[in-house]
């Protein structure tokens, strides 16, 4: 049996893979324009970083992490999310000793052992952003705005922003106690009852219909916010409204990670079925201390590249036509022509013109088929007679018009044609 990609993973192949690169670029572009610097962290980390940073009660830590011992017996985990790694890097390299907030963005693979389905993969790609060292509602609003701008730049129209506040250490305990009291009266399985005692907010995030049906009368965190959290949340809302960003208040919104405080948000798309979230994030003011660092308030988000691509597909924003791989395609006929074409193609590339050529000694018919498949606008046909005349035939593949161009001038001529 031939090898296949592991369950829950897939290969990105041309031409779709070219589009996924463009999606990553579009989601990252607003961050670059707002002073966020690129950070790349290891794809595996000390398991305890995620156990403590993401939270023992989360599904991610309890069920979904790819954890393994290395040859020295250390427990390592493939990163299931990006924030804990970024905070670890900021603390390790003392970046918080400089200008605050520390603004970072990243783009890379994450790994979770999830139930594989469309939009939920075991290896997936995110673009993420974190701003550390400042407790300012304007920073929360800025990040949300930059995420919304990324989606809008791709032409997406059906992305909805959901917004909530989870309170802070001053008001969360009273809400937590009220929620626990409510949840203890429900008919829940043993695992969920255990979660009620560890982190009851996570029960609100349970997607099972039999659990959701019992949560209709659950107390809402917005009814338990202290005055400071209420004012903070109101400022985030008013900054978003003043910036023209539409949002829906969702008092039941919680996120699947333990570190969130105050501002919590999610971007959802109507065309994706049950896996509707295309991104989300929030404020995590206690995470640095959980990782043995100093108090370092932070806010961030992660946007799903795969999910964003599916959302674009659902809105009909991806055409089926193969995008042009190159602008010029060389068709050499004979050994001497092949050697000369090899040099011409490399000259074209050096001059900024994307070019390819037929390999393997194909005849005219086979080579022209390759030219059509490449999506090139022009074919260069070089045979023995052309070599003798120190010329090459330039064929416009759109209108089939063919002209003879001296070999010495072909690079300049084509530069003029493809620009």
CATH number of domain containing 407: 3.40.50.800
Mean pLDDT of 346-352: 97
pTM of the predicted protein model: 0.89
Q: What are phi and psi of 307, to 5 degrees?
A: -65, -40
3-state DSSP assignment of residue 159: strand
Give pLDDT, residue 323.
64
Q: What are phi and psi of 401, to 5 degrees?
A: -70, 135
* In the chain, % of residues over pLDDT 70: 98
Lowest-confidence region among 52-56, 78-82, 97-101, 409-413: 52-56
Please say if the pLDDT value at position 419 is more than 80.
no
Which tens digits make up the pLDDT trace of 141-154?
Answer: 999 999 999 999 99
Q: What are phi and psi of 330, to 5 degrees?
A: -90, 135
- Report if residue 8 sits inside a domain: no
Give pLDDT, residue 190.
87
Q: What are phi and psi of 266, to 5 degrees?
A: -145, 140
Mean pLDDT of 195-207: 82
- Shared domain check, 298 and 347: no
3-state DSSP assignment of residue 252: coil
Give pLDDT, residue 258.
62
**Do the Cβ atoms of 84 and 78 come closer than 8 Å?**
no
**Which residues fall within 8 angstroms of residue 295, CB to CB, at 6 or more apart?**
285, 288, 289
**Do the Cβ atoms of 131 and 90 come closer than 8 Å?**
no
| Position 62 confidence tier, pLDDT thresholds 50, 70, 90 | confident
- Shared domain check, 308 and 345: no
Please say if the pLDDT value at position 369 is more than 80.
yes
- Report if residue 205 sits inside a domain: no
19's tokens: 């589009």
Mean pLDDT of 369-380: 94
Please say if the pLDDT value at position 322 is more than 60.
no
- Shared domain check, 263 and 158: yes
- Shared domain check, 288 and 336: no
- Report the binding-site residues: 81-83, 112, 126, 130, 255, 259-260
- Report if residue 24 sits inside a domain: yes
Mean residue pLDDT of the chain comes to 92
Lowest-confidence region among 15-24, 320-329, 344-353: 320-329
Mean pLDDT of 83-108: 96
Which tens digits make up the pLDDT trace of 227-285?
Answer: 999 999 999 999 999 999 999 999 888 875 667 889 999 999 988 877 789 999 999 99
Please say if the pLDDT value at position 168 is more than 60.
yes
- Shared domain check, 271 and 411: no
- Report if residue 198 sits inside a domain: no
- Report if residue 366 sits inside a domain: yes
Lowest-confidence region among 320-324, 344-348, 379-383: 320-324
- Shared domain check, 306 and 335: no
Mean pLDDT of 159-176: 92
Please say if the pLDDT value at position 321 is more than 60.
no
Please say if the pLDDT value at position 6 is more than 60.
yes
- Report if residue 412 sits inside a domain: yes
Give pLDDT, residue 118.
75
User: Any idea which residue has 């995008």 for tokens?
Assistant: 323
CATH number of domain containing 59: 3.30.930.10
- Report if residue 237 sits inside a domain: yes
- Shared domain check, 411 and 352: yes
- Shared domain check, 369 and 229: no
- Shared domain check, 405 and 265: no
Mean pLDDT of 346-351: 97
- Shared domain check, 254 and 295: yes
**Do the Cβ atoms of 256 and 59 come closer than 8 Å?**
yes
Taking the C-alpha atoms of residue 345 and residue 121, their distance in angstroms, rounded to an integer, is 40
- Report the binding-site residues for L-histidine: 81-83, 112, 126, 130, 255, 259-260
Give pLDDT, residue 300.
97
End of a domain among 284, 314, 344?
A: 314
Taking the C-alpha atoms of residue 12 and residue 18, their distance in angstroms, rounded to an integer, is 9
Which tens digits make up the pLDDT trace of 107-125?
Answer: 999 999 988 777 789 999 9
Question: Quick one: angle between helices 137-153 and 16-32, nearest 10?
Answer: 150
Please say if the pLDDT value at position 49 is more than 90.
yes
3-state DSSP assignment of residue 153: helix
User: Could you tell me the residue range of the domain that residue 382 belongs to?
Assistant: 328-418
* In the chain, % of residues over pLDDT 90: 72
Does a cis peptide bond (omega within 30 degrees of 0) precede residue 15? yes
End of a domain among 314, 342, 362?
A: 314
Q: What are phi and psi of 393, to 5 degrees?
A: -85, 125
End of a domain among 283, 314, 345?
A: 314
Number of structural domains the chain divides into:
2
> How far does the chain reach from its first CA to its final CA, in angstroms?
48
| Position 15 confidence tier, pLDDT thresholds 50, 70, 90 | confident
**Do the Cβ atoms of 122 and 55 come closer than 8 Å?**
no
Comparing 56 with 185, the larger pLDDT belongs to: 185
**Do the Cβ atoms of 286 and 259 come closer than 8 Å?**
yes
- Report if residue 138 sits inside a domain: yes
- Shared domain check, 107 and 251: yes
- Shared domain check, 390 and 303: no
Q: Which one, of 349, 328, 307, lies nearest residue 392 by Cα?
A: 328
Diameter of the chain measured on Cα atoms: 92
Question: Quick one: angle between helices 172-184 and 190-198, nearest 10?
Answer: 160
């Amino acid at each position: 049996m031939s090898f296949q990609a592991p369950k829950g993973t897939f290969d990105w192949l041309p031409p779709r893979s070219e589009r996924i690169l463009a999606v990553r670029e579009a989601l990252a572009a607003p961050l670059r324009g707002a002073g966020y610097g690129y950070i790349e962290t290891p794809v595996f980390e000390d398991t305890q970083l995620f156990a403590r940073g993401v939270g023992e009660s989360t599904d991610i830590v309890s069920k979904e992490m790819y954890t393994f011992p290395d040859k020295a017996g250390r427990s390592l985990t493939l990163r299931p999310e990006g924030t804990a790694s970024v905070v670890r890097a900021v603390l390790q390299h003392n970046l918080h000793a400089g200008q605050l907030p520390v603004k970072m963005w990243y783009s890379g693979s994450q790994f979770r052992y999830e139930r594989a389905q469309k939009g939920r993969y075991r290896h997936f790609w995110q673009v993420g952003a974190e701003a550390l060292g400042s407790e300012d509602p304007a920073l929360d609003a800025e990040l949300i705005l930059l995420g919304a701008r990324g989606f809008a730049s791709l032409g997406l129209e059906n992305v909805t922003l959901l917004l909530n506040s989870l309170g802070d250490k001053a008001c969360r305990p009273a809400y937590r106690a009220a929620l626990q009291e409510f949840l203890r009266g429900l008919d829940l399985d043993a695992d969920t009852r255990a979660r009620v005692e560890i982190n009851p907010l996570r029960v609100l995030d349970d997607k099972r219909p039999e659990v959701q049906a019992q949560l209709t009368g659950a107390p809402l965190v917005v009814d338990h916010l202290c005055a400071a959290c209420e004012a903070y949340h109101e400022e985030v809302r008013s900054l978003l409204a003043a910036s023209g960003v539409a949002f829906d208040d969702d008092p039941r919104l919680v996120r699947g990670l333990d570190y969130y405080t105050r501002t919590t948000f999610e971007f959802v798309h109507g065309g994706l079925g049950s896996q509707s979230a295309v991104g989300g994030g929030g404020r995590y003011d206690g995470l640095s201390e959980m990782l043995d660092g100093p108090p370092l308030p932070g806010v961030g988000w992660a946007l799903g590249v795969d999910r964003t691509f599916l959302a674009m597909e659902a809105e009909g924003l991806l055409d089926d036509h193969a995008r042009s791989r190159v602008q010029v395609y060389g068709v050499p006929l004979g050994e001497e022509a092949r050697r000369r074409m090899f040099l011409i193609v490399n000259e074209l590339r050096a001059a900024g013109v994307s070019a390819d050529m037929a390999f393997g000694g194909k005849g005219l018919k086979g080579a022209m088929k390759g030219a059509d498949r490449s999506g090139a606008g022009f074919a260069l046909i070089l045979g023995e007679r052309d070599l003798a005349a120190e010329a090459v035939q330039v064929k416009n593949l759109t209108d089939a018009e063919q002209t003879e161009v001296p070999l010495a001038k072909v690079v300049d001529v084509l530069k003029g044609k493809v620009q």
